Chain A
């Protein structure tokens, strides 16, 4: 038992080290990819600009906007990447693609769809969850009604219920005074 906190502290320290060393690793991977596959990296860098923007402006911890935009943006960029990978994987071809309006249109259209998802899905989900909550409340109220019918009104006057209602609880000999005299 005594060793468990030290294990947890060790794990936390390991995660901290990983996080602090994360950018280094990303930089190493990016540099490696630039060296290995520069044309793809050029298309990815320019094609994923909306995602980079989304990443910068999305202050949330979960980065949902970045994922939304990034995902759909990647779809648009992936068309050009496939084209690059299947024809000639050169910087010139990459530049050609980047200067192709339709290719750019797919990339930015993807990003736009990503933004649309980010804007439109939450209200739908919120409405859905609200309806679900209301349904749950109704179900619980019905359940409470059944409890009252079965066990009587006194169940609504227990000390806990009074506390929930913010009523003052009178005590006799240290025992809360209920309607039943107990």
Chain B
């Protein structure tokens, strides 16, 4: 498993004082004024002062560096004021002195009445069960309804994340849902069984139905008195929920008032189809007729199957245990007992046939991944429990949560190989095919995983697991060691970030490592395949020109005027690219001009200088002409030097002809002179 994400601890661990941080020119965040009462499990809270409105009460949550924040949700909620939701005022990345790095800060209006659960537990306020509907359930449902309209699910509804906004404790709101991946901070009790079985990062975005389940669970857990589930171990809790149902487990021992009983039963329903929706809650709040949920026992086998020393009456608990003991499970599946139990006791013919087919295929593929015990167990677990998360080599995730799960595994320095293998073995496709109903969402997921597989198969820069990381986690900052500290989340921040670090990094290395390239490929919406192809070339010169062309294209497209540091960095790497010109004069001319362009900070101009097509053509033509001239000269030299007898004969003949001509000319002169003398 991945390690826990880093928190906002000070590097020195001491109590050093830090200067206030200004965000967007008017929010002053004081790192020395923490607000522990507003902390979330993944983010710490600090005081914020709005310089434009000194009466406003705000606080900031500092997102953890080790978690991909939900920037998409931040965009959706920024500046909006919904009933039942804590207003998100602003968010941005800033240098955060306590950790010495940039971090994403989310600014909310401060809830002045404190956490609801603390207020009730301390006895400062009391609420009758009858007022609960109007004062708590109603507003929170409306808040969820507003989120549903924005196609956003909260996924962080738990007792300690519900606040009173006002001092009078009349206005109740749901707290932050953006600082961590969906469901990451949720206790298992507030997640549906399926999502509770996934790892924290793999619980998925889910839907409003998952939020309503969490709301029901939060109501039960907020009731006065000690709830039995509070002290339960994770395994015990999940097993109990599988065996007896979530409602029975969560409400066992809890004193649920009669007036809330129907609501709680409607919300804490393990069957998503039957779970209450927003309209049902509205009806309940208004006292209108609503659908009453009858307790239905879970489907059980007539006789249990024994695996790993425990008896199982249903497929879900067995599937879960199989994934926890892979070696024993693979043997167990291959022996055929499972198929027999599915067919005879559970009377699930389709499941039995699928397991039988799986065992047959595994026998054919004994020596390849499709016959491996991990694959067999994972596929069996999907067949037995299609709604459960995909579980492979300890990496468990809901299909819609592959991105955050991968990111958390990567950021926590965990083993990402299982995450890669899951996609390469097309396990998500198996999951999609096993779903009882196909939907546009599952079809999209299948297409998305097919694209990821193509990315993973491609080893050239701009693809691979890095590309998948950034494609699937829009809020994940670029993880390149070069700019990690700069917290670069959007493509607009990338080149300024590289420009910023250019005087602190080893400039003999290319600014485009696999992370930066993957980040560009995922976040830049222009066609860059030709640049990536050049960048991935085996030839050093072509790769350098590819690097320059991609950076220049980015600077041009993003309209960034001057990047002095980055231009200087790139300019220092261009030697091999300049040497691709044959002409020494051209090379010297380029070398002479580069410093001037570097001082202008213009990568497109440097690229034009290095890779002008006219210049290339001239160089190529000149080179061809030079070869021809050289060869012609060599031929002539060889002819002169190795002429031998023929050449000597020619020269001799020329000498004789010269003698004859001399004689004839002399004769003509002498005869003329003699004749003239005689005439005189």
Contacts and interface: CB of A to CB of B under 8 A. Distances in A.
A141 to B, nearest CB: 7
A109 to B, nearest CB: 12
A86 B679 CA distance: 10
A120 to B, nearest CB: 8
B659 interface: yes
A151 B655 contact: no
- Please indicate which of the listed interface residues A71, A120, A140 has the most CB atoms of chain B within 10 Å of its own CB: A71
Given A74-B671, A152-B584, A129 B654 contact: yes
A160 B256 CA distance: 96
A60 to B, nearest CB: 7
B664 A125 contact: no
Contacts of B622: 151
Contact of A130 (B636, B651, B656): B651
Nearest to B647: A133
Given A72-B667, A152-B582, A160 B655 contact: no
Contact of B660 (A68, A120, A144, A158): A68
Given A129-B654, A151-B584, A122 B659 contact: yes
Given A72-B666, A78-B671, A78-B674, A160 B652 contact: no
Determine the main DSSP class of B at the interface with A.
Answer: helix
Given A72-B666, A144-B630, A137 B584 contact: no
B657 A62 contact: yes
Interface string B299-343: 000000000000000000000000000000000000000000000
B663 A72 contact: yes
Interface in A153-182: 154-156, 158, 160-161, 164
B583 A151 contact: yes
A156 B633 CA distance: 12
B582 A151 contact: yes
Nearest to A121: B659
A59 B103 CA distance: 104
A126 interface: yes
B9 interface: no
B629 interface: yes
A136 to B, nearest CB: 7
Given A71-B664, A78-B670, A151-B584, A161 B630 contact: yes
Given A121-B662, A161-B631, A75 B656 contact: no
B631 A137 contact: no
A144 B630 CA distance: 6
Interface string B631-647: 10111111011000000
A24 interface: no
Given A130-B651, A150-B626, A136 B656 contact: no
Contacts of A143: 629, 633
Interface residues of A, number: 49
Nearest to B580: A180
B286 interface: no
Nearest to B624: A158
B677 to A, nearest CB: 9
B439 interface: no
Nearest to A129: B651
A123 interface: yes
A107 interface: no
A121 B582 contact: no
Contact of A147 (B626, B658, B678): B626
- Please indicate which of the listed interface residues A114, A149, A155 has the most CB atoms of chain B within 10 Å of its own CB: A155
Interface string B608-639: 00000000000000110011011101111110
B675 A82 contact: yes
Contacts of A64: 653, 656-657, 659-660
Nearest to B670: A75
A118 interface: yes
B615 to A, nearest CB: 15
Contacts of A164: 631, 634-635, 638
A155 B630 contact: yes
B585 interface: yes
Contacts of A121: 655-656, 658-659, 662
- Please indicate which of the listed interface residues A72, A120, A148, A151 has the most CB atoms of chain B within 10 Å of its own CB: A151
Nearest to B634: A164
Given A68-B663, A151-B622, A126 B655 contact: yes
A164 B656 CA distance: 33
A114 B670 CA distance: 13
B538 to A, nearest CB: 10
A79 interface: yes
Interface in A43-101: 60, 62-65, 67-72, 74-75, 78-79, 82, 86
B493 to A, nearest CB: 39
A121 B664 CA distance: 13
Contact of A150 (B583, B637, B655): B583
A140 B637 contact: yes
Contacts of A35: none
A62 B658 CA distance: 12
A117 interface: yes
Contacts of B670: 75, 78
Contacts of A124: 655
A147 B629 CA distance: 8
Given A121-B659, A147-B629, A164-B631, 12 more contacts: A64-B656, A64-B659, A68-B660, A78-B674, A122-B655, A122-B658, A137-B640, A140-B633, A143-B629, A151-B627, A161-B630, A164-B634
Which 4 A/B pairs are nearest by Cβ-Cβ distance?
A: A122-B655, A121-B659, A71-B663, A125-B655
25 contacts: A62-B657, A64-B657, A67-B663, A72-B663, A74-B667, A75-B667, A82-B675, A86-B678, A117-B662, A118-B659, A121-B662, A122-B654, A122-B659, A126-B651, A133-B640, A140-B636, A144-B633, A148-B630, A149-B584, A151-B583, A152-B582, A155-B630, A160-B631, A161-B627, A164-B635
Interface of A: 60, 62-65, 67-72, 74-75, 78-79, 82, 86, 114, 117-118, 120-126, 129-130, 133, 136-137, 140-141, 143-144, 147-152, 154-156, 158, 160-161, 164
